[in-house]
Structure 1
Amino acid sequence: MKETKEKILSIENLVIKFSLRGKVLTAIRDVSLDLYKGESLAIVGESGSGKSVLMKSIMGLLDKNGYIAQGKILYQEKDLAQFKTEKDWLKIRGKEIAMVTQDPMTSLNPLKNIGKQIEEAVVLHQGLKGKEAYEKVLQLLRDVGIQDPERRYKQYPHEFSGGMRQRIVIAIAIACNPKILICDEPTTALDVTIQAQILNLLKTLQEKYQLTTIYITHDLGVVAKVADRVAVMYAGDVIEFGKTDEIFFNAKHPYTWALISALPQLGEKGKELYSIKGTPPNLFKEIKGDAFAPRNPYALKIDFVETPPYFKVSDTHFAKTWLMHPNAPKVEPPEVLKKFFEEGRLYAHGG
């Protein structure tokens, strides 16, 4: 019997543009993506690939010069792309969809103790007041792993370490009681041991609060730890998506190959680490064909002329590359990846 998952959010043919100095930049180019209830979806790609813009559009946080030119963002039978006023967004932002930002120092008010900052979200989104609100804040502090919450409640952001501040930011997001939690590079500013603690914490909270989570990251190590599914973005487009194992061990798009090849653990002693040659395309200009073609050593002639459609790899795995066309020449992934894929498949099947 085929498992049917409930869609919680659907993005359909979304195009987002920005007006800059009299020119128009297309930051998101015809993106369609579904999010399923209870899952963890990771959105990966280089800086500037459109990950954060895509997520900001879901929360109505686009900069003033940004706008949705086409498409739908469907959530609970509402099209968020049609929302125009702050009043509309306040029904969704925080209450239904909350965000953990990447820099906890700039997210917190340095002049207000952390207890009051969490309490604001509890009062606004859960309707609790007085002692009830205070007790809820203490519970949230315990949930995010902060000991001695009564004392910590009265302290200010500068009295906490980076990892502790990130826990406070997570507590504020959870205090909103959201259905969807967006984590924008939640471990970027933290050292490796603290990163692991924060990722474990987010997984625990996801189960406890029945959250659907989206991770925005360029760190594939983070993806491997937390994600059920992965969407790979390049130049404002989702070029491959599938289950985490499918993306890691059976990737089909040359850009995904390049991202995985750049993992430090695939480096060989005495050799330079792999890096993707060239630069991403200029999004002020119209992109013809596959946006990755100029940087792609496996590019075909058609890549420079026509945008590839999604080709089906499995029921859950799709890739936008002409290399998947039945008439395309057979191209093997780089040698370093073939070995990695092989080991990964063996590992995935308990070999």
Structure 2
Amino acid sequence: MEEIQTKSRILSIQNLVIQFKLRGQVLTAIRNISLDLYKGESLAIVGESGSGKSVLVKSIIGLLEKNGSVAQGSILYKEDDLTKFSTEKDWLKIRGKEIAMVTQDPMTSLNPLKTIGKQIEECVILHQKLQGKEAYQRTLQLLKDVGIHDVEKRYKQYPHEFSGGMRQRIVIAIAIACNPKILICDEPTTALDVTIQAQILQLLKNLQQKYGLTTIYITHDLGVVAKVADRIAVMYAGDIIEVGQTHEVFFNGKHPYTWALLSSLPQLGAKGEELYSIKGTPPNLFKEIKGDAFAPRNPYALKIDFEERPPFFKVSETHYAKTWLLHPNAPKVELPQNLQAFFEEGRRFAHEH
């Protein structure tokens, strides 16, 4: 799959397979994924729990668990193939400095025994090579950039003196202090209430523009995606099954799994009726998957879905989907009623704007 983009490629994942050894068995968590990331864009990787989203980004930053390894493929960044890195020394050239990560639980990222000012300042000294008063002033500026007020006072406080939303802002400040080119946000708003979520997402958007960042969002929440992403990659059972610009996936999604995710949006529910939920469970990744992994849960599945894995079919220059429904010989299927209305409304909106 070769996507045509005007932007330059900053990271390229090619034919990636990641496996974990568990109690004498092999679990294939990432099943031959190829994906490009373009400079300055915001890419969201979406899928339900266990689809492989976090494993994929951990492999980019060298944080795979000890029993995990890259069985095949490459992750190209600048002149390096990151899958060839074998020591912590290798990864320290990249982690933080080039590619930084914001996790979903800020308390696990912060040292409870150090003031938050000192924790940010350590990164400023290490990555921006500033000392003394310059490092202190830069730290205060970073606190302001992430929306913290009364920064001199806050500099001297400890993580337990901050709310969850404030701690998430501190973790973001630490990531930005490293001056990275790529910022990975792994479910950055999961633990926060809805109003705080919106603030954090807006903050990340502002920082992306101010610092010229390329961002990757990991999320299962399509509502989050609509607010922040330029492009979406939909993951299922360790594979990317659809990728396209946000409006393409939202209002012209082609894979039945994408339809199922969209149908689960609360705003598509009918008053007085139960919210849609995807029937069945994801496949067992200890076993070899034949055909399309989503086939057993897919009401639109064709016979070939159970036999052969679909390739990427091209929908547009920027939109691809792995579903046999896009094959020229496939039967035409009727979209669910609620999705038809949603797609039409979205296309109308896109046309008007």
TM-score range, shorter chain: over 0.9
The answer to whether residue 256 in structure 2 is matched with residue 254 in structure 1 is yes
- TM-score using structure 1 length: 0.99
Which of 331, 342, 345 is the matching residue for 1:343? 345
Using the TM superposition, give the Cα deviation of residue 332 of structure 1 relative to its aligned residue in structure 2, in angstroms: 2.0
Consecutive unaligned residues of structure 1, counting only runs of 5 or more, are none
Aligned pairs for 1:131-280 (under 5 A) are 131-280=133-282
The answer to whether residue 319 in structure 2 is matched with residue 325 in structure 1 is no
Q: Match of 2:56?
A: 54
The answer to whether residue 71 in structure 2 is matched with residue 85 in structure 1 is no
Using the TM superposition, give the Cα deviation of residue 214 of structure 1 relative to its aligned residue in structure 2, in angstroms: 0.3
Aligned pairs for 1:86-105 (under 5 A) are 86-105=88-107
- TM-score using structure 2 length: 0.98
Consecutive unaligned residues of structure 2, counting only runs of 5 or more, are none
C-alpha separation in 2, matches of 1:267 and 1:159 = 40
Aligned length: 350
Letter in 2 for 1:310: F
What's the Cα RMSD here? Answer: 0.9
Using the TM superposition, give the Cα deviation of residue 28 of structure 1 relative to its aligned residue in structure 2, in angstroms: 0.2
Using the TM superposition, give the Cα deviation of residue 4 of structure 1 relative to its aligned residue in structure 2, in angstroms: 2.2
Letter in 2 for 1:167: R
C-alpha separation in 1, matches of 2:70 and 2:134 = 40
C-alpha separation in 1, matches of 2:295 and 2:31 = 16
Using the TM superposition, give the Cα deviation of residue 125 of structure 1 relative to its aligned residue in structure 2, in angstroms: 1.1
Matched-pair contact (CA < 8 Å) for 2:13–2:36: yes
Using the TM superposition, give the Cα deviation of residue 109 of structure 1 relative to its aligned residue in structure 2, in angstroms: 1.0
Letter in 2 for 1:148: D
Using the TM superposition, give the Cα deviation of residue 3 of structure 1 relative to its aligned residue in structure 2, in angstroms: 5.9
Using the TM superposition, give the Cα deviation of residue 166 of structure 1 relative to its aligned residue in structure 2, in angstroms: 0.4
Letter in 2 for 1:63: E
SS at match of 2:328: coil
The answer to whether residue 123 in structure 2 is matched with residue 126 in structure 1 is no
Letter in 1 for 2:196: I
Q: Match of 1:308?
A: 310
Deviation per CA, 1:86-139, whole angstroms, max 9, x where unpaired? Answer: 000000000000000001122111111100111111111111111111111000
Matched-pair contact (CA < 8 Å) for 2:17–2:30: yes
Matched-pair contact (CA < 8 Å) for 2:5–2:318: no
Letter in 2 for 1:295: R
Letter in 2 for 1:13: N
Misfit runs of 4+, over 6 Å: none
